Structure 1
Amino acid sequence: MVLARRAAMGIVVLLVVSVLTFTLVALTPGNAAQSILGSTATPTAVAQLTKKLHLDEPLPVQYWSWLKGALHGDFGTSLTTGEPVTHMMASRWQPTLSLVFLSTLVSVVIGIFLGVVSALRGGWVARVVDIGGLVAFAVPGFLIGIILIYAFALKLGLLPLNGYAPLDEGVSPWLRTLVLPVVALSFGMVGFIAKQVRQSMTDVMHSEFIFTYVTNGFSRRSVIYKHALRNAIVPAMSYIGVQLVSVVGATVLIETVFAFPGVGSLAVSAATQHDLPVALAAVLFFTAYVILVNILMDILYVVLNPKIRMASS
């Protein structure tokens, strides 16, 4: 029932986002006709192309025409290239999802590991994690990307400078093109997640029920990984969820820095060229990702916390 409500709310969010995106891009000074013809085009030529592209129609009419097609799986054609939007997105979603998935995996695994280790060790380990997390969170991902490009691509020549190798070309080329973007994108998230997990884990380790397990003779490994970590992850999940959502904005910058042929770079070029159908498809792609992450976080809350499962039933 809860998931059904979430799904219904997600549909409403997609609709609202499409309206806002359409309006903002359409009201931005200039239009696709001007972008296609260039600054030297005559007003007459621009007006003729504007009419040909139906950009002279009222915004509600343009949006309704797009929406009718989108509901049937037709997101229109690019105003600048004439290529079907679905074809353009088909060649872009794999690089972006690969980048987001690996960055998420790296951030969560390393962040939780560092958070748990620093909580158990305390002292200078905890201080290093706190300071490192603060620095990592404060430094922009695109700046980390530039440093990585200079060090590992230009100076050492160990990894590709930019671009993307599809997975069907082999796992090794695929990973090589993803290493630097993934590190740049997950750098800040690792520090933030580690800090939140450390704090949550520290609180749980000082709780009464953990003391009870220890005094009853349970092994340290069992207490830490079966009881403490499970309970510590639940309050930290909200912070992790925020980071997994915020990765959308960072992905656009990282794809631009690494000339990564993903949905983020496509969205930037479409917005600057006033290519409404492409911009809409790209924004809806990221919106669907955010909705999916929120639904998955709700499911994880229920799995990790039996009290929530009992309350919902």
Structure 2
Amino acid sequence: MKSLKFLTVFSLPISVYFSFNMNGWYTFLPLFLFFGIVPILEFLFKPTPENFNKEQEQIEKENKMYTYILYLTVPVQLYFLYLFFYAIQEPHLTTFELIGRLFGMGLMSGTLGINVGHELGHRNNRFDQFLGEILLLSSINTHFLPYHNAGHHFNVATPKDAATARKSEIIYSFWIRSHFTSYKQAWQLENKRLKLSGRSWFHYQNRMVIYTLLNIILLSSIFYFFGTFVLICFVIASIIGILLLESVNYIEHYGLLRKQSESGRYEKVKRTHSWNSDHVIGKLMLFNLSRHSDHHYNGSKHYQILKSLPESPQMPTGYPGMVILALVPPLWFSVMHTKLKEQ
């Protein structure tokens, strides 16, 4: 039964359903839920740093229900993408209402598409990885997997990592640097992998080649069946989802760096190299992504058994609240530079 608490994430698609089928302010219900109600609730509920004991951890590790909940997000994401294509073409839809629905789909793409795609992309079986690729394709962010697994996890908390925010770097410039640099490095990593195996970069085993073709097919299909307006709206919603991802990247490692030896080698990744959050609602809505320190310590560990440890630097609130804080750079620097001095 412990696994069922993660069904909380489906409050987001429920709110998006209302957004797609109602008008006026109701179209902004998903945005209000994620960045209004959730941050308030996280101030009301105390963080929960408790972990499973060894026996419980083994039981929950083998509990398939946690994985089935992830699987359920795939048809939900695809169904809502289909609904979105029609919801934005509703007659007499105002610009205000259109913006609300764009943000609703964008939150779906960032939370279910990219976040769950990230979790499934770390699994060691091809079926789970394939579902993760479908979710990432629904947000046209497929380059995430090659870069994240082989680049970000290897270079995290170093200047080499596109997804590690430097101290005093504002979130708006980070969005651009992180996204485009990670895309470039995804190509470099795949090209290097193919070269080491004696193959040309232009090979069907180069995931970036396949992902690029799939992105072109997806965008062309949307244009063919739904037209230019729907295609533009889909791209905008995907960008919103990608910016949500990059905002999360920004807060997860902000200002944290691994020590470098005289030879130039960096120390091993520790649980001190990621910001952690044990705020209840954020953990449930994002499948324990906020226990990010343990995730980087062991990237293959399933989300339900991620631990909170005292040496991990702690965020003052959960992810949604931290993203809001990051959008106001002077306030962000004031809070986080004080936290950095404590580390």
Structure with higher RCO (Cα < 8 A, 6+ apart): 1
TM range (shorter): under 0.3
TM-score, normalised with respect to structure 1: 0.28
TM-score, normalised with respect to structure 2: 0.26
